[in-house]
């Protein structure tokens, strides 16, 4: 079993599916959230996007209704991305949401909506900052190749700026359940995480900040294996090209995302699925449709994830992942069904019930020696599975056994 945190932080193991939101003035351009770096846009040109940012259709309750309809139970919001623009009313810099035509504290509105709707709030904060004159700007990872004209690199001054900002974030917006640092600075400043923990005792902190955190964060990647050994939250976006809003986005198929999610969930990890709202504050219809379909799958199979632990080693076939709750075993097939039957050596016990959670229909189960297993002896066989009907969607099957049957 993956070790728990304790100290009021174990919500992380109970709320397994979250919404990631990348949103900032880069949405105005509709190209990529790293527009300033990837398109080599000069600072003087980039900052003008703030003059056009006026999301009059922003409705945080609508975001959260979409999240809840997909089964998501927490949200992580980009308070400051690499461009340095702050989506809250910060006293540390004028490069913030209050100095736009919108002129209102977006984070405050979102935090209040999360409290109303019972969604836990997590905050994303970028370690690099392409706007702050003292920020690290040495041409390294996610740093501008040409420093801004007013750059005055001073690491300690920039750390003081970060310290001020995280105090604001951890003090002024109610409960903060998670803090998502981004782009590890390869610099150890332990008092930053200590400050977050002191101000928000129930917070969980990721591993991309200024000191080791609580959980690891594979990005756009499904690790190999059958079970994580430490707390993990994988993150992925509905868009293949960008995390922020992109007008000509290449969207992943729901089936692709579902397969990725099932593998992560079965290994004991959380999944943070990102959307990038448009400049007006609305979530693109393509993203909404994806979350709706992904959420329908998640809610059907949720019992195999929440409250169930990874159970590797039960089956000889390592392509089938297993989770377990007591005497109930769940079979996860992230790559979908390739045939209408499954042989499950070395299991030799027939379950009391076998249910395909994707559809709710019963599955035929028998203990026999099929021809393909002639060298192994009898084993549990499931048959009559609707392989064609599920296409490539991840399949999850529940097996209820008598007490003492499972190892």
Going along the chain from its start, the domains and CATH numbers come out as 10-304 (3.20.20.80), 311-400 (2.60.40.1180)
Q: How confident is the model at residue 106 (pLDDT cuts 50, 70, 90)?
A: very high
Q: How far apart are CA 342 and CA 354, in angstroms?
A: 12
Tell the burial category of 173 from Cβ atoms under 10 Å away from its Cβ (0-12, 13-18, 19+).
buried
Q: What percent of the chain has pLDDT over 70?
A: 99
Mean pLDDT of 194-210: 97
Q: Is the pLDDT of residue 148 over 80?
A: no
Phi, psi of 335, deg, nearest 5: -90, 10
Least confident of 32-36, 109-113, 152-156: 152-156
Least confident of 79-83, 96-100, 120-124, 131-135: 131-135
Angle in degrees, 0-180, between the axes of helices 254-266 and 285-301, rounded to the nearest 10 = 40
Q: How confident is the model at residue 151 (pLDDT cuts 50, 70, 90)?
A: confident
Q: How far apart are CA 178 and CA 318, in angstroms?
A: 33
Q: What is the mean pLDDT of the chain?
A: 95
Alpha helical stretches, state H, 43-183: 43-46, 60-69, 106-117, 155-171
Structure tokens at 345: 């050596």
Q: How far apart are CA 325 and CA 266, in angstroms?
A: 12
Mean pLDDT of 192-207: 98
Contact yes or no for 19/76 (Cβ under 8 A): yes
- Find how far residue 155's CA is from the centre of its chain: 30
Q: Which of 307, 322, 398 is nearest to 361 (CA)?
A: 398
Q: How far apart are CA 207 and CA 180, in angstroms?
A: 8
pLDDT at 150: 81
pLDDT in tens, 355-369: 999 999 999 999 999
Mean pLDDT of 156-171: 97
Q: How far apart are CA 401 and CA 93, in angstroms?
A: 60
pLDDT in tens, 248-264: 999 999 999 999 999 99
pTM: 0.97
pLDDT at 189: 95
Q: Which residue is it, tokens 């939101």?
A: 21
Q: How confident is the model at residue 311 (pLDDT cuts 50, 70, 90)?
A: very high
pLDDT in tens, 33-75: 999 999 999 999 999 999 999 999 999 999 999 999 999 999 9
pLDDT at 375: 85
C-alpha triplet 22, 24, 30: angle, nearest 5°: 85
Q: Is the pLDDT of residue 139 over 60?
A: no
Give, rounded to a whole angstrom, the gap between the first and last alpha carbons of the chain: 15
More confident residue, 406 or 129: 129
Q: Which string of b and e fits 16-46 if b means at least 16 CB within 10 Å?
A: bbbbbbbbbbbbbbbbbbbbbbeeebebeeb
Q: How confident is the model at residue 140 (pLDDT cuts 50, 70, 90)?
A: low
Q: How confident is the model at residue 137 (pLDDT cuts 50, 70, 90)?
A: low
Mean pLDDT of 360-382: 93
pLDDT at 390: 87
DSSP codes of every residue in 193-236: HHHHHHH-TT-EEBSSSSS--SBB--BS---SSSS-SS-BEEEE
Q: Is the pLDDT of residue 149 over 90?
A: no
Contact yes or no for 294/254 (Cβ under 8 A): yes
Tell the burial category of 380 from Cβ atoms under 10 Å away from its Cβ (0-12, 13-18, 19+).
buried
Q: Is the pLDDT of residue 138 over 60?
A: no
pLDDT at 233: 98
Q: How many CB atoms lie within 10 A of CB 402?
A: 11
């Amino acid at each position: 079993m993956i070790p728990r945190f304790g100290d009021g932080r174990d919500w992380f193991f109970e709320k397994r599916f979250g919404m990631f939101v990348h949103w900032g003035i880069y949405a105005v351009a509709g190209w990529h959230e790293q527009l300033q770096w990837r398109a080599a846009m000069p600072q003087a040109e980039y900052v003008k996007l703030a003059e056009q940012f006026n999301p009059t259709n922003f409705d945080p309750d609508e975001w959260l209704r979409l999240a809840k309809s997909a089964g998501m139970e927490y949200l992580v919001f980009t308070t400051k991305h690499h461009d340095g623009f702050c989506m809250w009313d910060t006293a540390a810099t004028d490069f913030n949401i209050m100095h736009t035509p919108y002129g209102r504290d977006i984070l405050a509105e979102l935090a209040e909506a999360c409290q109303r709707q019972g969604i836990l709030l997590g905050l994303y904060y970028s370690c690099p900052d392409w706007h702050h004159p003292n920020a690290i700007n040495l041409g390294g990872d996610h740093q501008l190749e040409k420093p801004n004209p007013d750059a005055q690199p001073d690491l300690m001054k920039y750390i003081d700026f970060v310290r001020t900002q995280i105090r604001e974030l951890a003090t002024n917006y109610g409960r903060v359940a998670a803090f998502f640092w981004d782009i590890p600075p390869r610099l150890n400043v332990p008092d930053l995480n200590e400050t977050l923990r002191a101000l928000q005792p129930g917070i969980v902190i990721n591993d991309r900040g200024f000191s080791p955190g609580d959980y690891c964060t594979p990005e756009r990647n499904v690790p190999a294996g059958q079970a994580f050994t430490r707390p993990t939250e994988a993150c992925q976006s509905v868009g293949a090209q960008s995390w922020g809003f992109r007008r000509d986005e290449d969207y992943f198929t729901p089936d692709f995302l579902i397969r990725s999610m099932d593998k992560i969930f079965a290994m004991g990890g959380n999944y943070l699925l990102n959307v990038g709202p448009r400049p007006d504050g609305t979530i693109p219809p393509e993203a909404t449709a994806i979350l709706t379909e992904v959420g329908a799958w998640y809610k059907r199979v949720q019992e195999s994830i929440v409250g169930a632990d990874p159970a590797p080693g039960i089956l000889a076939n390592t392509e089938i992942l297993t989770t377990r709750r007591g005497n109930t075993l769940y079979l996860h097939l992230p790559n979908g069904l390739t045939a209408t039957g499954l042989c499950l050596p070395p299991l030799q016990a027939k379950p009391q019930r076998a249910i395909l959670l994707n559809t709710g229909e019963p599955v035929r189960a028998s203990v026999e020696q099929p021809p393909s297993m002639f060298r192994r002896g009898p084993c549990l066989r499931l048959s009559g599975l609707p392989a064609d009907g599920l296409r490539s969607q991840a399949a999850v099957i529940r097996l209820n056994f008598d007490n003492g049957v499972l190892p």
